[in-house]
Structure 1
Amino acid sequence: MSRLSAALLLAGAMLLATTPLAGRAFAQSENEVYNRIEELHGDAAGFDRPLRQLVQAMRAGDAETIAGLAEYPLTVKANGETYDIENAEDFVDNFDDLVTSETRRAVGRQQYQDLFVSSEGVMLANGAVWMSAVCDDNACEESHWAIIAINN
């Protein structure tokens, strides 16, 4: 291998190691995920319960529980269309069209250590669902975890 090829290979490896998606290519621990959530969003401990509720509800096809975990208006991409769901009732009434069986299965199998965390939120099932801490007041002293997008 030439010196130039070796240098380019090393530079590429260094670039890959510094990109946000690099962590997805390597195994990460639950502690690393927890710490990343805490670092970027705070209240990592508060994320556990809504995450578990969502995973269980997706397994069971429990539209009411999933609707209760969402922040409205909720953007849902399904069937090649983008929908702005205004409330939980609309979500429940249209659940089968808004959340595909593939998305339900993928989120239902979500493992904590496989979550991807960015400044936008926490990604489940390779982007099928995004959750984030949503501010409850203008100062954002109080917040709650909610589904902020579904991308079938």
Structure 2
Amino acid sequence: MMMNIKATSMKLCLCAGAILLSSPLMAQSVKPQNNIIHSKQADNSGMSNCHYTTVGFFHVLQENIVQKDKQSVAAMVKYPLWVQLNGKQIQIKDQQQFVEHYDAVITPKIEKIVQDQKIKTLLSTYRGMAFGNGEIWFSNACQDKAQKDSKMVRMQIIGINNFM
């Protein structure tokens, strides 16, 4: 059975992109600005670059946490964010508050989970993707609803379960 040339080309591009974006050099060179990782718009086949963005976001988040780059991690969070501090749930309202509580939110246990995580073993559900057993969740929505015609993909941390 002969495959459609366009479909075959698309599959090859997706594989090449996944390999390129999963390399350590790419992980260090991609930095989000204002929680947005730039991406091309969907092509004529209707496929978007959601896979690329998930891979890029994963590596950037992983690198920022391993490097303890508090400001960069804080810039990747969707606010408000509920976390547990000193045995009670609190709402972190903004980046400044996140940075102030960073060491209590991103615990050594979470750092280790993030450092050891492989992209192929991410937990994935209809709500998003997660490191470990759900310690850090991020949204894999491919389009910001407020910017339907945007060429950008918005990915953000939507949950941190630092009490597990």
TM over 0.5: yes
The alignment partner of 1:96 has SS state of helix
Asked whether the 8 Å contact 2:123–2:132 carries over to 1, the reply is no
- Percent sequence identity is 25
2:120 & 2:105 partners in 1: Cα distance? 27
Query: Is 1:104 the equivalent of 2:111?
Result: yes
Query: Is 1:147 the equivalent of 2:157?
Result: yes
1:122 & 1:129 partners in 2: Cα distance? 8
2:137 & 2:49 partners in 1: Cα distance? 16
Equivalent residues, number: 114
Name the structure with the higher strand share.
Answer: 1
Query: Is 1:75 the equivalent of 2:82?
Result: yes
Which structure has the greater CA radius of gyration? 1
Where do 5+ consecutive residues of structure 2 fail to align? 1-14, 19-47
1:59 & 1:136 partners in 2: Cα distance? 28
**Structure-1 residue corresponding to 2:92:** 85
> Which deviates more, 54-63 or 113-122?
54-63
AA at the equivalent of 1:132 = S
**Structure-2 residue corresponding to 1:117:** 124
> TM-score, normalised on structure 1?
0.65
Where do 5+ consecutive residues of structure 1 fail to align? 1-30, 35-40
1:68 & 1:139 partners in 2: Cα distance? 19
**Structure-1 residue corresponding to 2:102:** 95
RMSD of aligned Cα (Å)? 2.3
Pairing of 1:46-57 with structure 2 (within 5 A): 46-57=53-64
